[in-house]
Amino acid sequence: MQFYDEVNIYIESGKWWNGLASGRREAMVAFWWPNGGDGGNWGNIVFVASKDENTLLPYKYKKNFKAQHGEDGRTKDQYGANGENLELVVPVGTLIKDMDWNVLLHLLEDGQREVFLYWWEWGKWNIHFKDSINQFPNFALLWEPGHKKDISLELQLLADVALIGSPSVWKSSLINSVSHTKAKVANYPFTTLIPNLGSIQIKDLNFNMIDIPGLIKWAAEGKWLGNAFLRHVLKAKIFCLVADLSRFDIGITEVINIFEEIIEYIKNKIDQKVKIRFFDEDGDIVMEVKQNKKIILNKKIVFTVNKYDLVPDNEIIEEYKKQFLKNLNIYLKENFSFEIEKKSFENNCFVVSAASHFALDEWLKWLVRIIRNTNLEENNFVIERKDKSQKAKVEMIKDITNLEKNKLLSEWYIEEIDSQFIKIWEINDSEICKLVFITWWWNDEAELWFWKEMGLKWFISEFERNGIRKWDVLKIISYYEGQENRYILY
């Protein structure tokens, strides 16, 4: 199946339909009474995480998803039929974001079900408003508009160990050797075009390893396939940097260049002001990323020198490791004022062979030890857009007379003579917005119910405290996507 890990889609819940204002009228019946039914409830948009899915390909070609609407209420006390939920199945690890990259939902467990767009209020029929004074109300509540949203689905492959390296260092062969994955291998660069995720069982511990397509210099800027898959790397607990023993100096340089690209990607994706530092902790080499004194990434580093079967010479290997540490410390000292001690490097550097399985057991045991000692919460980090701005606090009541008067005059909403005395106010409140949208306007009883509800909820007192007077115009800001703002007279 084609790998597809990011897509934008449009979703829309169903709509609650209108209640019915009707009455029973029969010959030979002494009293008539209301008998309209409530509107049916809408269908919700529900996201379901499944371990059996591994791609977002089903959402590549179909972009619009709408839940079923409810039905209008009917006479003879009949409620409208309910709309069915629309379930969207996505792989475990899927992020749901809005168009500003704010994270709205993160699905982490198999079978996890999250109602994303849900109902609030249905259209109520007229018997709900019957009382001792008004025995036959002649109004019902309208449906509340359905919710609409453009969202982005992004698959985050959840792995414990990420194999990172340049092309043709046999990363796919490594993951094939230690797991049941059958990743494609061949004797040419860029054989791997999509991430391969393998599951590994060591005694009572089961962990995942991800093989990222080969990275090259400028991968952080999107060169070749780097930018497309680097985000999967940041979910791993351990960064396993794979070097090629047969390439000698070139292999060392490639690993350091790729390491530098990962750091640049973190800076570009999170914030240029993040602080990155390295330190030794219990024999492990740790890369820590801080933002505003808060740790947002804490990754263990393991160096894996592959292809021992091609150069089975201990003297060459020792010289290779010596040069590796020397060149790595030059980079770390220049950029982070940090040097890795020889003992820490020896503990976290393994010379292995994917072909002959040389030293793979020792390598896996060390990875298991790190995984067991790693706090999951330190690595459960989700990247959001670095330029995301905090929403300013919105005023509930704001005088916008100077901004809106000319517009309302041109649309004949207010008269010239009235405009000298009235003011125009912007009302920003979700509860008031809902009451305005479900009220049956131009129906005297419905409007009376609306203002009664406004009084019971203390909105009238708040209006008068802020200087709103009778015949002022209220601009009600719509909280429903795709619905225009409403104007009403106070």
Predicted TM-score (pTM) of the model is: 0.61
Residue count of the chain: 490
Q: 163-189, pLDDT tens digit by residue?
A: 888 777 777 888 888 876 665 444 544
Lowest mean pLDDT among 199-203, 271-275, 408-412: 271-275
Cα torsion angle, 46, 49, 52, 58, sign:
positive
287 & 188 share domain: yes
pLDDT in tens, 451-482: 988 999 889 999 999 999 988 999 999 887 76
Q: Answer with the residue of higher pLDDT: 80 or 198.
A: 198
Residue ending a domain, among 101, 132, 155, is 155
58 in a structural domain? yes
Residue numbers of the domain that contains 97: 6-155
333 and 234 inside one domain: yes
- Say yes or no: 146 and 165 in one domain: no
Judgement on whether residues 105 and 193 belong to the same structural domain of the protein: no
Kindly report the CATH number assigned to the domain that includes residue 82: 2.70.210.12
At 146, is the pLDDT very low, low, confident or very high (cuts 50, 70, 90)? Answer: low
Q: How confident is the model at residue 136 (pLDDT cuts 50, 70, 90)?
A: low
List, in sequence order, every residue forming a beta bridge with 78; answer none if it has no partner. 74
Q: What is the dihedral of CA 107, 111, 114, 119, to 10 degrees?
A: 160
Residues 306 and 264 in one domain: yes
Do 323 and 223 share a structural domain?
yes
Residue 428 pLDDT > 60, yes or no? yes
Contact predicate 62/10, CB 8 Å: no
Looking at the predicted structure, is the pLDDT value of residue 377 above 80?
no
* Nearest alpha-carbon partner for 327 in 230, 259, 263: 259
- What residue has token string 């210099």? 217
Are residues 435 and 318 located together in one domain of the fold?
no
Number of independent structural domains in the chain: 3
Q: Is the pLDDT reported for residue 9 higher than 60? A: yes
Residue reference for tokens 């009883």: 445
DSSP for 226-246, written as a single string: HHHHHHHHTT-SEEEEEEEGG
In a domain, 384, yes or no: no
Beta carbons of 124 and 37 less than 8 angstroms apart: no
* Residue 379 pLDDT exceeds 70: no
Pick the last residue of a domain from 100, 127, 155: 155
CB 115 within 8 Å of CB 48:
no
